[in-house]
A and B are shown apart, each in its own frame.
Chain A
């Protein structure tokens, strides 16, 4: 199994947490994993990106056009990061606007849940259900349970499951 995933968003949206969830899920599946993250000034609301490479790779970065899946927590990430994914099939965007991608309004659904901060997990739930990810939803849930701080755990799982269901 080899899969290359781009996670894009704005600083503060929880791209890093989703990166860690996917990495933990890979280990739970017994797969090798390499990620690369954005830290520093960009985390203050600027465009951030994580690369996740599952399987046998030596470089932590993905080349342009080589990502299988692109998970965009904010549509503004598209201008900078769309080129990592060839074609449009693997592009998942958190938005209520149509475009050349799979769009899903996780922000709206998280707001309905009353917890805008779990937009990232709601969207992850949607992607896990829709895309052909390297693992199934049970592994992702296990990874979320493993790395969530206890005060956040219940809410995180709820966000993820709501995304899986697609509605409340």
Chain B
């Protein structure tokens, strides 16, 4: 590697680079937008630099946190990464790890998604850090995210405390030119020192551990290296200041310059929103007549300022929800500074909604499920298959793994009423099943719920970029792992009806669904599980090995739109000039599933032929 190694790095790659350069020895994660690209970059940079790092796609975020934590307890630098709702799953080990502390530096990268763009909430993980009593850093750019890793490890080791790095989508998925360095520090050999009072910490030890934790936080709040930095404004303090953090601070800085207000306002960048530097709080409250706080997404800094004059989310000048885009902050600053408002062109539409890919096996599954049980109740879950909502084939999507428990809840709700039990078909992806579906399935079996569970097994975590799942037996770095069979797991959960099929075989799948429904309705029946197996067609190798049929739509098409509305394959498009549906040959992969869809048989699939 040359001295001047400048590269364009995505925020997530910059974080990975920072971890590798700063001696991280174990990195665990579970995929989730916007955090998914960190792990592949750790693998790539560790290969490139020869740094020895154990990397893993753990089965869920809680497991990832615990694996990394024990590595830290052995004295080695560790890190874990997840999206914000992943932290809900990992919150149990995290809150206790604040009390017990760490040994080797420990960084939890938790990526927030203000907006949200790809999440079920827009919760603020800095608030979670405050709740758990751990310090949190809030980078405003990819470069800064990388630069924060070294100091975060140092702080973590100095106080033996986990540290959170909280980037947001706009940092994770931005790219910037960044200087790369060779890996420097490396932790020593694993050396776990037994200490039952700390690592077992029964309740009698906890008040003392809590006191120690409070003492650490008090000291950290006086660490001048992590105090807010003046980002704009000269040496002379003004009467007005804006306090900001994260990417919102980057937006604010640029806006104040563009508005020509850089000389009238002091702008402070808060690099560590919790614990907020004590001296800063006193100085701000003493100095400024007007204070505005701009931060995403909850008022974490604002509430620590402990005064009644600060403007922000509580005063209503900053919207209480949604992403703080530059356009939103511009309006806030215009109001705060008493400037006239600039006219903006409103967006005229939201654009095109996403849809399952052409040839996606989930589309086949959903079409058959809905067609077989038009009046069913369809709880589902998180992944590409949430797009089943476009087909009217899913009714719920809550949090990872919830669909199975919801299926059980719906069963018990209807079971009380006696007859008229609707068919309940739950759909869950393979990765989601491993993540949080297994305890829910055990519970459903044990508590006597009777419904159909379809595991949509496409052998990957497709939505987040095709990360491998445990039944495939390939690990994060490409090495072989021990495959864990879904059929074996389902059987071990106590399910007596377990079948597999390829959902492309629509008639076979429909017949299996009916058989499953009969079984679930029998007095001595129970949970019925069908594993719908067909690999994700985004994988080039898969597309290569499945037959590709020539598909066309004949003039018999009556333009009834049944296929467009109930099948929604992007390769079936309505041609206005012909007044019928046609096949887009560029998008069509020739799966041939649409053969079963047209009510008048106008979709012609030439089976046996090549595309």
**A128 sits at the interface (CB 8 A):** no
Pick the interface stretch among B59-67, B198-206, B341-349, B592-600: B341-349
Pick the interface stretch among B279-287, B354-362, B558-566: B354-362
A65 touches B345 (CB 8 A): yes
Distance in Å: Cβ of A40 to nearest Cβ of chain B: 3
Residues 20-47 of chain A, each 1 if its beta carbon lies under 8 Å from chain B, else 0: 1001101100001111111111111111
**A159 sits at the interface (CB 8 A):** no
Distance in Å: Cβ of B587 to nearest Cβ of chain A: 9
Residues 310-348 of chain B, each 1 if its beta carbon lies under 8 Å from chain A, else 0: 000000000000000111001000000000000011111
A27 touches B141 (CB 8 A): no
A47 touches B140 (CB 8 A): no
A36 touches B173 (CB 8 A): yes
Q: Chain B interface mostly helix, strand, loop or mixed?
A: loop
Pick the interface stretch among A72-80, A92-100, A129-137, A160-168: A72-80
User: Given contacts A41-B387, A77-B351, A79-B351, are A35 and B174 in contact (CB under 8 A)?
Assistant: yes
Cβ-neighbour of A57 out of B36, B173, B254 (below 8 A): B254
| Assembled-state Cα–Cα distance A42/B10 (Å) | 18
**A61 sits at the interface (CB 8 A):** yes
| Assembled-state Cα–Cα distance A141/B350 (Å) | 33
A64 touches B345 (CB 8 A): yes
Question: Which chain A residues numbered 122 to 166 have a C-beta less than 8 Å away from chain B?
Answer: none
- Of A11, A35, A47, A59, most buried by chain B (CB within 10 Å of CB) is A59
Q: How many residues of B contact A (CB 8 A)?
A: 48
Q: Report the nearest A residue to B342, measured CB to CB.
A: A65
Distance in Å: Cβ of B189 to nearest Cβ of chain A: 38
A24: which B residues are within 8 A, CB to CB? 8
B345 touches A82 (CB 8 A): yes
- Of A10, A40, A42, most buried by chain B (CB within 10 Å of CB) is A40
A57: which B residues are within 8 A, CB to CB? 254
A45: which B residues are within 8 A, CB to CB? 352, 354-355, 357, 570
Cβ-neighbour of A83 out of B255, B345, B386 (below 8 A): B345
**B34 sits at the interface (CB 8 A):** yes
**B251 sits at the interface (CB 8 A):** yes
Distance in Å: Cβ of A130 to nearest Cβ of chain B: 23
Residues 70-110 of chain A, each 1 if its beta carbon lies under 8 Å from chain B, else 0: 00000011011111001000000000000000000000000
**B247 sits at the interface (CB 8 A):** yes
A14: which B residues are within 8 A, CB to CB? none
A40 touches B33 (CB 8 A): yes
B353: which A residues are within 8 A, CB to CB? 46
User: Given contacts A58-B250, A80-B350, are A20 and B118 in contact (CB under 8 A)?
Assistant: no
| Assembled-state Cα–Cα distance A22/B35 (Å) | 24
Known A35-B176, A38-B117; 10 more pairs at CB < 8 Å: A11-B354, A23-B177, A37-B10, A44-B387, A47-B351, A47-B352, A58-B253, A59-B247, A59-B326, A76-B352
Residues of B within 8 A of A (CB): 6, 8, 10, 33-34, 36-37, 117-118, 140-141, 170, 173-177, 247, 250-251, 253-255, 325-327, 330, 344-357, 384, 386-387, 463-464, 570, 586
30 contacts between A and B (CB under 8 A): A10-B352, A12-B357, A19-B175, A20-B8, A23-B175, A33-B175, A33-B177, A34-B176, A35-B174, A39-B34, A40-B463, A41-B463, A42-B354, A44-B355, A44-B356, A46-B351, A47-B350, A47-B352, A58-B251, A59-B251, A59-B253, A60-B174, A61-B170, A63-B327, A79-B351, A80-B351, A81-B351, A83-B346, A83-B347, A86-B345
